[in-house]
Amino acid sequence: MYRFPEGFYTDVREETVIATGITIENGILKENKTKKEQGVIIRLYDGRRWYISSTTELDRVQEEIDALVQMGKPCPEIAKDPVVKKYEVNREIQLQYTSNDVSKISNGEKLALTEQYCQCLKGYEEIQRWKMYYLDNHTVKHIVSSKGCDVTFDTQNCCIAARYVLTKDDKPYYGKEDIYCMEFAQLSGHEEELHSVIKEDIEYNKNAVSVVPGDYTCIFAPEVTGVFAHESFGHKSESDFMVGDENMKKEWAIGTRVGAKLLNIVDTGMEEGSGYVPFDDEGTRAKRIYLIRDGILSGRLHSAMTAAALEEDLTGNARAINFQFEPIVRMTSTYVEPGESTKEELIAGVQKGIYIVDYNHGSGMSTFTIAPNKAYMIRDGKLAEPVKISVITGNVMNTLHEIDGLSKEFKLGSLALGGCGKMEQYPLRVGLGGPYMRVNHLTVQ
């Protein structure tokens, strides 16, 4: 297909993306757009540095390769370079969504479905303002390299996302519900779920009182467990922050105990959802990586460069938001594995604590923060009054040891809007989730 130059490692990643976005705000159609993008990123490596170019002119890829060659210096031993040796040589076609390609659904059907869900929001006088989003995306990637990699695969998502504002005493409450599916036909029939969430939000907004700040045992719903795993430990597992830092390598040595014995955190691109990537953007096959296993640090996430630098195995986590960017180390789907308890048993074991239903946002490295969207007090082992919470915080490494209960119930969630941000690359689709999780000694404000 391409003439790859001698003395260099070269790879080419071609992407074709077809995406639709529809927004209806307070009954008025604000956006209805379908776009198709095609582009290529070319990377060339001479053993000393990378040379990178991206283009939307697919017939000029060879010219771009030849131009990059002029910037580098050929290395006769490039095949022995530690980074080049790491690259997998996969040759495979994985097109999962050709039979139910969402881009083949007519715009009229997508708009009609969005309008149908809008009816759910129009029947509540408590809702002051609202938006209904429809989003879909079908992406096909083709990655080839001078080492012999040749993989083609697709990913897909489609979702309905409701956002609405309830007002009490001139203070807004922002409600939300997402319906995320892998194919268009699965989006229909979820009206009762949306109505149930709206009604719960209305009652919550009417009755919620400000929490008394303090130290609490908290139970996280699966969505909150997922954002905790992603923010508190997932980012710490992205190995590019360790390269060249000897102190960090010692502190984060594989085999170190970092959490409670019942804790297992996994990252994988193999699960369907917003974190599904059967191959990463360097052509590495997706793996199932235990970041923490039985409370022990057991793995981290890699690109070929970081795997070579730390002398560890590839994990399939070199990712970019699109063809204009080079891949960097990123999560895919990150989750806590389930345990042996039930949700009810976890709650019954708390005399005074807080149940966190969902979140607005989260962040973390050494200290994590989660801003809850909806929460309830736990008193004498039972759910009690709804409470408003600004933020939950804790020291990451201390908190991982304070986890003392995980439910059998498990959910791996997908993000309908937004995604993960790192450096200048945002938003990247990721998945997150887990069981209901009980955590002691969290600071609640």
Q: What percent of the chain has pLDDT over 90?
A: 92
The angle, 0 to 180 degrees and rounded to 10, between the axes of the packed helices 191-207 and 107-122 is: 30
Asked if 14 and 149 count as a contact pair (C-beta separation under 8 A), the reply is no
Q: What angle do CA 50, 53, 58 make, to 5 degrees?
A: 140
Whether residue 188 has pLDDT greater than 90: yes
Q: Worst-scoring range by mean pLDDT, 75-79, 118-122, 330-334, 361-365?
A: 361-365
For 254, residues 6+ apart whose C-beta sits below 8 A from its C-beta are 297, 298, 299, 300
Please enumerate in sequence order all residues whose Cβ is within 8 A of that of 41, keeping only pairs 6 or more positions apart, or say none.
Answer: 12, 13, 52, 53, 54, 320, 323, 324, 325, 326
263-319 pLDDT, tens digit per residue, is 999 999 999 999 999 999 999 999 999 999 999 999 999 999 999 999 999 999 999
In this prediction, residues 38-56 reach a mean pLDDT of 98
Average pLDDT estimate for 31-48: 98
Confidence of residue 251 (pLDDT cuts 50, 70, 90): confident
Average pLDDT, the chain: 96
Q: How confident is the model at residue 25 (pLDDT cuts 50, 70, 90)?
A: very high
Q: What's the confidence (pLDDT) of residue 102?
A: 98
Indicate whether 9 pLDDT > 80.
yes
- What pLDDT is attached to residue 12? 98
| Helical ranges in 164-298 per DSSP H | 191-207, 222-228, 246-251
The per-residue pLDDT for 249 is 86
Antiparallel, parallel or unpaired: β 214-220 and 352-364: parallel
> Residue 202: its pLDDT value, please?
96
The pLDDT of residue 334: 97
Which residues face 285 on adjacent strands?
Answer: 279
Reply yes or no on whether the pLDDT at 412 is more than 80: yes
State the Cα–Cα distance between residues 114 and 162, nearest whole angstrom: 10
Taking the C-alpha atoms of residue 158 and residue 181, their distance in angstroms, rounded to an integer, is 6
Cβ contacts of residue 71 below 8 Å, gap of 6+?
Answer: 51
* Kind and range of the H or E run holding 164: strand 150-168
